[in-house]
């Protein structure tokens, strides 16, 4: 299972380039996000399955954190953090951009990407590890792909993986038997929101992919459209969304003739409402927990109670990034964005926490070096 998988469809303009190496996993949230980006942009790459534990030590030595995915460029340089990797590639790689030139559209692409990265992670991990059929499928795949060289019985390794993931990312991250229904409603609402969009157009902003599509590929490509429980729901409730997953994977920007609509489509409002009513309040509660030195915290979000959610210093930085992106907007664009944020319940929680508890130079150096990312999880 450790044989590198070669991407066979680079853009014509990149065919002479040596492929970069994407160190990750075929079941990884953020590896899938980066694969979608690299394919859409036509960047030649090969996927190299990380082998535990040795490869994580090599990655930490290169970029400062034990996390996947990580990219090693053909010239030997290493990159980490999927969001900052994509931003860097957008400045380096030729071809049509995925981050819009329009500052209003760009801001909302970054907002949706951040929401997909840091909030949809919760239902994605829940569906994978809560249900026995999902846990059996994922643990077997991970063990076969990433730990074939560990000299322990497969059953023991699968049990260890399942217990670890539940300890850190489901039961250990605020999901209890009492709020399972609420966590699953996040996914069901998302399917309803996206089904309405993809019944009308191919991608979030129109006829070509944007950063918003790439961000949503994280939870969808290697989780919701891959794991048995959410995939069955996806097939039955949102077939247009399932088609979008395949369409994004099969799209190349150098061959895509579609264009983006002007402005922010009105049918994104329900999705933005969820960001304002669920994700941003959670980020504020997380910031308070970090400031108070708590490892876990309790929070009620839109009527769903989370008990013992894991505090994340990285997510404090994510909130700061959103604020800085707004503050960097030209005046007219800033007003347009503010009007949209106020209409979708996002404005007040974006600024509710007065002074964020950031460390000096936190996350500086990304994507070439990282720090302060607790647990060394996927990013």
Condensed to tens digits (0 to 9), the pLDDT of residues 103-160 reads 999 999 999 999 999 999 999 999 999 999 999 999 999 999 988 778 889 899 999 9
Q: What is the band of 3 on the pLDDT scale with cuts at 50, 70, 90? A: very low
Termini Cα distance of the chain: 23
What percentage of the chain carries pLDDT values higher than 90? 84
Helices then strands, each counted (H, E), the chain: 16, 7
> Which H helix or E strand runs over 309?
strand 304-310
Fold of 5-97+369-376: Glutaredoxin (3.40.30)
Q: State the Cα angle at 178 between 173 and 179, rounded to 5°.
A: 55
Condensed to tens digits (0 to 9), the pLDDT of residues 295-319 reads 999 999 999 999 999 999 999 999 9
C-alpha 210 chain-centroid distance: 14
Condensed to tens digits (0 to 9), the pLDDT of residues 318-348 reads 999 999 999 999 999 999 999 999 999 999 9
Q: How far apart are CA 121 and CA 123, in angstroms?
A: 6
What pTM, to 2 d.p., does this model score? 0.93
Q: What is the pLDDT of residue 165?
A: 94
Condensed to tens digits (0 to 9), the pLDDT of residues 5-44 reads 444 334 434 445 789 999 999 999 999 999 999 999 999 9
């Amino acid at each position: 299972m450790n044989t590198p998988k070669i991407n066979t469809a680079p853009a014509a303009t990149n065919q002479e380039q040596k492929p970069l190496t994407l160190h990750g996993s075929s079941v990884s949230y953020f590896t899938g996000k980066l694969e979608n980006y690299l394919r859409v942009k036509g960047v030649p790459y090969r996927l190299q399955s990380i082998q535990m534990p040795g490869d994580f030590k090599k990655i930490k030595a290169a970029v400062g954190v034990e996390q996947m995915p990580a990219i090693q460029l053909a010239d030997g340089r290493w990159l980490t953090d999927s969001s900052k990797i994509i931003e860097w590639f957008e400045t380096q790689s030729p071809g049509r951009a995925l981050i819009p030139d329009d500052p209003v559209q760009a801001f909302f692409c970054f907002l949706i990407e951040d929401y997909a990265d840091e909030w949809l992670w919760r239902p994605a991990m829940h569906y994978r590890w809560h249900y026995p059929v999902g846990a059996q499928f994922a643990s077997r795949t991970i063990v076969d792909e990433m730990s074939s060289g560990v000299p322990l019985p497969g059953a023991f390794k699968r049990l260890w993986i399942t217990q670890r993931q539940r300890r850190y990312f489901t039961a250990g991250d605020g999901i209890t038997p009492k709020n399972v229904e609420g966590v699953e409603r996040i996914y069901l609402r998302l399917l309803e929101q996206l089904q309405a969009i993809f019944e009308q157009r191919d991608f979030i902003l129109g006829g070509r992919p944007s950063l918003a599509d790439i961000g949503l590929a994280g939870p969808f490509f290697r989780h919701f459209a891959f794991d048995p429980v959410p995939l069955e729901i996806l097939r039955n409730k949102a077939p247009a969304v399932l088609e979008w997953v395949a369409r994004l994977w099969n799209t190349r920007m150098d061959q895509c003739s579609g264009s983006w609509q002007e402005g922010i489509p009105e049918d994104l409002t329900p999705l933005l409402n969820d960001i304002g009513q669920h994700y941003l309040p959670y980020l504020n509660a997380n910031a308070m927990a970090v400031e108070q030195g708590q490892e876990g915290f309790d929070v009620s979000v839109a009527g769903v109670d989370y008990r013992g959610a894991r505090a994340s210093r990285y997510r404090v930085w994510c909130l700061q990034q959103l604020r800085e992106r707004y503050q960097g907007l030209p005046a007219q664009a800033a007003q347009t964005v503010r009007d949209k944020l106020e209409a979708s319940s996002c404005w007040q929680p974006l600024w509710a926490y007065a002074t964020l508890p950031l460390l000096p130079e936190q996350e500086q150096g990304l994507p070439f070096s990282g720090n302060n990312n607790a647990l060394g999880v996927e990013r």
